[in-house]
Amino acid sequence: MDLLDTVAVSVIPGISRTRAAAAFNRFRTLPLEPLALETVIAGCGHDGDAESLAARARAEAARLVAAAETEDVQPVVLNDPDYPPLLREIGDPPPVLWVRGARSALTRPAVAVVGSRTASAYAVEVATRLGRELAERGLVVVSGLARGADSAAHRGCLSVSGCTIGVLGSGVDVIYPPEHRELAVTLCKDGALISELGPGAPPRPEHFPLRNRLISGISLAVVVVEAAEKSGSLITARYALEHGRDVCAVPGSVLGGRNRGSHALLKDGAKVVESADDILEELGWPAARLACEISSNSLKSDELLAKLTPGEAYGLDELSATVGLAGATLLARLTDWELSSQLVKHRSLWQRRS
């Protein structure tokens, strides 16, 4: 199916995005090529005239694709190599993701950190720290660009030049809340903003549960920081369970109810997270390695890796001098190389495999 028809699947009048996505996902694996938009519409069990619905959806799709070009927004369709591999595995993956920033970020191993919009100082501190620690370990930090814990996680990641993805409940050219516009721009340098809503879509309350499904969908694990009893983060956690992802929660005060949702998750068996290492332990490196596949990032960094003599062991200072990177950036790169089995670490020495 071509780009326009694929986009059209997500804007069929009168059919919900997730229903159309699920139908598309069912059909795309069948030997029905070329899959027609009309088939998907019929597969949704809609009463309307498939042909006229398809025409209207195509017109809207054309409008969105044109708008995306103007706004420097890239549509990444389900069979694009840059489409997040884990998201492809959920039951209703969006046929198209609209992306602003570095689309290469989408295929790297990622962990979501989500939490209260009205976060306490404690939650902001913890989310910031987790964002930073995950980035230092080479993981992409996923969150919702919301006020409070979400933006703290993005910022913590950016503080060590990490790669972070903001998943929006609006078009990626519509930044909500508006005070996060600068954060959005910074984030797009190495990371990305993504949405299944086309350019110009406003942030509507009903968009956020959909958005939460994507946060879980592209992540290996979801970490909840300070969720009260009816927090949106619990929706994300429920999706994580549904998607078979690890659910983690940060403990906090039992007084005042701010953490009642997080603690309910812990009671139900979520992993207790005090620091990023707890998350890595839960994931296990092998799992992360599988999920990693070939990250475009590690391909890019091959010329740096080429500077290391195969079989030789390097100390951290030597490595830093040889590849010309330092601190968190170097560590993130080392993690990439370790994940792709190009580098082995023995105690504090790194050795390039031959």
Rounded to whole angstroms, the Cα distance separating 232 from 175 reads: 19
> Among 32-40, 78-86, 246-254, 306-314, which window interacts with a second copy (CB under 8 A)?
246-254
Q: Binding residue for a second copy (CB under 8 A) from 182, 255, 311, 354?
A: 255
| Residue 285 found at the interface with a second copy (CB under 8 A) | no
Pairing mode of beta strands 74-77, 96-101: antiparallel
Rule CB under 8 A: say whether 263 interacts with a second copy. Answer: yes
Binding test (CB under 8 A) with a second copy, winner from 137, 180, 260, 352: 260
- Confirm if 300 and 329 have CB atoms less than 8 A apart: no
> Mask: binding to a second copy, 124-153, rule CB under 8 A, as x and -?
-xx---------------------------
Which element (helix H / strand E) includes 134?
helix 121-136
What is the distance between the alpha carbons of residues 149 and 144, in angstroms, rounded to a whole number? 9
For a second copy, the binding residues in 44-73 under the rule CB under 8 A are: none
Per CB under 8 A, which region of 73-81, 95-103, 154-162, 269-277 contacts a second copy? 269-277
Shortest Å, Cβ 347 to a second copy: 25
| Residue 329 contacts a second copy per CB under 8 A | no
Residue 272 is a binding residue for a second copy (CB under 8 A):
yes
Nearest residue (CB) to a second copy, 32 versus 272: 272
Query: What dihedral angle (degrees, nearest 10) is formed by the CA atoms of 278, 280, 286, 291?
Result: 130
Q: Is 267 in the site for a second copy (CB under 8 A)?
A: yes
Contacting residue, 75, 84, 115, 252, with a second copy by CB under 8 A = 252
DSSP string, 10-79: TT-TTS-HHHHHHHHHHHHTSS-PSPPHHHHHHHTT--S-HHHHHHHHHHHHHHHHHHHHHHT-EEEETT
Burial letters 254-263, b for 16+ CB under 10 A, else e:
eeeebbbbbb
| 142: β partners | 112, 165
| Shortest spacing between CB 274 and a second copy, in angstroms | 4
Smaller CB separation from a second copy, 155 or 263: 263
The number of residues that bind a second copy (CB under 8 A) is 20
| Candidates 51-59, 249-257, 306-314, 321-329; binding stretch for a second copy (CB under 8 A) | 249-257
> Which of the stretches 4-12, 62-70, 144-152, 274-282 binds a second copy when contact is defined by CB under 8 A?
274-282
DSSP E strands: which ranges in the chain?
A: 74-77, 96-101, 110-115, 140-143, 164-167, 192-195, 221-225, 246-250, 271-272, 313-314, 343-346, 349-352
| Measured distance CA(308)–CA(323) in Å, rounded | 8
Among 122, 209, 228, 349, which residue interacts with a second copy (rule: CB under 8 A)?
122
Query: Which residue, 262 or 329, has its beta carbon nearer to a second copy?
Result: 262
Residues near a second copy (CB under 8 A) are 122, 125-126, 250-255, 259-260, 263, 266-267, 271-275, 278
